[in-house]
Amino acid sequence: MKIGIDQLHVYTPSLYLDLKDLAKARQVDPDKYTIGIGQDRMGINPITQDTVSMAANAAFPLINARNASEIDMIILATESGTDYSKSGATYLHDLLAIQPFARAIEVKQACYSGTAGIMMAYDYVSNHPDRKVLVVASDIARYGLGTAGEVTQGAGAVAMIISQNPRVLTLNNDSVPYTFHNFDFWRPNYAKNALVDGKYSNQAYIDAFQKTWNEHQRRHHTTLEALAAVCFHLPYSKMGKKALTTILDEESDTTNRLLTRYEKSVQYTRQIGNIYTGSLYLGFASLLDLDESLNAGETIGFFSYGSGSVAEFFTGELVENYRHHLYTSDHEKMLSQRYPLTIEEYETTFLESLPEDGSSVALSHPQDKAVIQLAAMDQHRRIYQIYDKVEQ
Q: Is 29 annotated as a binding residue?
A: yes
Q: Rounded to an integer, what distance in angstroms lies between the CA atom of residue 341 and that of residue 5?
A: 35
Burial-class residue 83 by CB neighbours within 10 Å (0-12, 13-18, 19+): middle
Q: Rounded to an integer, what distance in angstroms lies between the CA atom of residue 213 and that of residue 201?
A: 18
**pLDDT at position 389, please?**
54
Phi, psi (degrees; rounded to nearest 5) at 225: -60, -25
Q: Is 274 annotated as a binding residue?
A: yes
Please state at what angle helix 279-290 crosses helix 328-336, rounded to 10 degrees: 110
Cα Rg of the chain, angstroms: 20
| Domains by residue range for the chain, with CATH | 3-169+326-386 (3.40.47.10), 171-318 (3.40.47.10)
User: How many angstroms separate the first and last alpha carbons of the chain?
Assistant: 45
Q: Rounded to an integer, what distance in angstroms lies between the CA atom of residue 65 and that of residue 179?
A: 39
Q: Is the pLDDT of residue 66 over 80?
A: yes
b (16+ CB within 10 A) / e for 278-288: bbbbbbbbbbb
Q: Could you read off the pLDDT of 153-163 as tens digits, one per residue?
A: 999 999 999 99
**pLDDT at position 196, please?**
85
Choose the catalytic residue: 9, 93, 106, 111.
Answer: 111
Q: Is the pLDDT of residue 390 over 60?
A: no
**Does residue 390 or residue 176 have the better pLDDT?**
176
Q: How confident is the model at residue 256 (pLDDT cuts 50, 70, 90)?
A: very high
Supply angle C-alpha 18, 22, 23, rounded to 5.
115
Annotated active-site residue 231? The verdict is no
Residues in the chain, total: 392
Q: How confident is the model at residue 392 (pLDDT cuts 50, 70, 90)?
A: very low
**pLDDT at position 37, please?**
93
Choose the catalytic residue: 233, 312, 317, 331.
Answer: 233
Q: Rounded to an integer, what distance in angstroms lies between the CA atom of residue 251 and that of residue 349?
A: 46
Q: Rounded to an integer, what distance in angstroms lies between the CA atom of residue 23 and that of residue 32?
A: 8
Q: Could you read off the pLDDT of 157-206 as tens digits, one per residue?
A: 999 999 999 999 999 999 999 999 999 999 999 988 888 888 899 999 99
Span 112-116, average pLDDT: 98
Q: Rounded to an integer, what distance in angstroms lies between the CA atom of residue 179 and that of residue 50?
A: 29
Q: Is residue 335 within 8 Å of residue 12, measured between CB atoms?
A: yes
Q: Is residue 50 within 8 Å of residue 382, measured between CB atoms?
A: yes
Span 360-374, average pLDDT: 96
Span 58-76, average pLDDT: 97
Phi, psi (degrees; rounded to nearest 5) at 354: -85, 155
Q: Rounded to an integer, what distance in angstroms lies between the CA atom of residue 143 and that of residue 155?
A: 12
Nearest to 216 by CA among 254, 245, 174: 174
**pLDDT at position 250, please?**
82
**Residue 292, Cβ neighbours under 10 Å: how many?**
9
Q: Could you read off the pLDDT of 73-103 as tens digits, one per residue?
A: 999 999 999 999 999 999 999 999 999 999 9
**Residue 188, Cβ neighbours under 10 Å: how many?**
7
Which is it for strands 339-340 and 310-318: parallel, antiparallel or unpaired?
A: unpaired
Q: Could you read off the pLDDT of 205-232 as tens digits, one per residue?
A: 999 999 999 999 999 999 999 999 999 9
pTM of the complete model: 0.97
